[in-house]
Amino acid sequence: MKTSRAWTIYILVRVLAFIVPFGIVMLVLPTWQWNWLVGVIVGAIVSLAISQIFLYRERFAVAESLQERAESRAAQKDQRRPIDVEEDADIDAQVEGAGEQDASGPADEGDADGKPDA
């Protein structure tokens, strides 16, 4: 299925699946103060249910297109030179080494003036 067709079908069906129940609730309960809130909740539930039951292929195609777009953006963003990658790896190794050295504590234990205990 073409991605643009999947997007179009998915969006139109979801919007219609929301608007129709919302409109019905607004017509059935015109004088109630909270009719809009009930309409929103009913519309959202119906729209979600229709999407989960009937729009599997469209949701899958939309998700794939979003994933491809995210991966292409990540690939474009990570256009570093090899030397930059090596430098980053060296810096990360130095930071990890310093962290391990700090965690091990002082090399020789002594009293406050730095003399070893006898």
Q: Please, what is the average pLDDT of the chain? A: 83
Please indicate whether residue 75 or residue 54 has the higher confidence score (pLDDT).
54
Q: List 116's β-bridge partners, or say none.
A: 110
Return the number of other C-beta atoms located less than 10 Å from residue 105's C-beta: 7
Cβ atoms of 10 and 54 within 8 Å: the answer is: no
Residue 84's pLDDT is 76
Q: What is the pLDDT of residues 35-56, one digit of tens each?
A: 899 999 999 999 999 999 999 9
Cα three-residue angle 8-11-16, rounded to 5 degrees: 120
